[in-house]
Structure 1
Amino acid sequence: MRVETKESQALAIDVLRHGHADDPRPIIKREPIVQAIGVDQFKLLEIIPKVSDIEIHELLYIGDGERPKVERVKRRLKYSELTATAKLELPYAIEKIIVENEERFIEIFNKSVPISLKLHMLHLLPGIGKKLLSEVLDARQKSPFTSFDDIRTRIKSIPHPERMILDRILEEIKDPDVKYHLFTSR
């Protein structure tokens, strides 16, 4: 559903100061690697840093122009290529992105539309069926949602809207065959 563009910022989810452990080159010849997730489209990226003091969950500027801590984006990664640490940190990084950009993610509840006669964009969020969809559409028609707390208050059946979004993003990242992408690019 999103138009693919370059990521301009990414959140570090693992820092390999001596490169990949399975790299056959001597440790002195390996380049450090940062595995990261893009803030805009949740692309998984392998980044070559300029500096060695990057921390997990640090926000890195990777767009065009001056990059103080990043030499280059080496490549895009598949979920299966992430390190064990990166896989563990991924949900926390996504949650951080969602919480820090709440208004962006509230829009899915306010502006989602039907995909087909039988499928609505909100159906793609885990836990939303026909009854809950109807409740959300009725509530947003009265007035748009303003925050996750507003959704929680007005729709008692949705105690954790941010968790629904997190679970959907993880599904889109982990499953390369998922048909509809609300938050990620293919």
Structure 2
Amino acid sequence: MPSRVSRAVLGATLAMSCLFAAVQSAHAVLGGSPMTPPAGASTSSRIVTPVAVMHAASAGASSSTAASSSSYTVHETTFGNGTVVREYLAQNGSVFGIAWHGSQMPHLADLLGTYFPQYVAGVQAMRAAHPGHGPVAVEQSGLVVHSGGHMGAFAGQAWLPQALPEGVSGSDIQ
């Protein structure tokens, strides 16, 4: 039989998911394809080559080979409400990291895709060990999610440690 705390955490998590479902949905999937921006959103993209890889290239490896094998693309979408979602895409086009900030929380079930149940379980375990409110930090071998903020100012990052390109760390997901 679930404890009162577990039921409360699960209830709060589900309530937040429903509440955030009303917020513009992002439809990006961590580990999958990038989102299709909704109508009214502005977008931009840039290609990034990690500094560590550029240093390795200048130390002897062919710079074009090193840069092309580990560079990644950052897609940034700004929703009509001002919330910004950045998707970090590997060379194969899959999303290995997502970051967000803005006045409204994006719909995490859409952003995390098949990793959302793992995230919910991580939040439940965290809240059971440390009851209360505050930022969320789920740090597992296959998924890392940091999320926090307050009404009008939310921010967070999520990434797949096993999918980070060479020279990229979780701190690069911003």
Larger C-alpha radius of gyration, 1 or 2?
1
TM-score normalised by L of structure 1 = 0.28
- Choose between structure 1 and 2: higher strand proportion: 2
TM-score normalised by L of structure 2 = 0.29
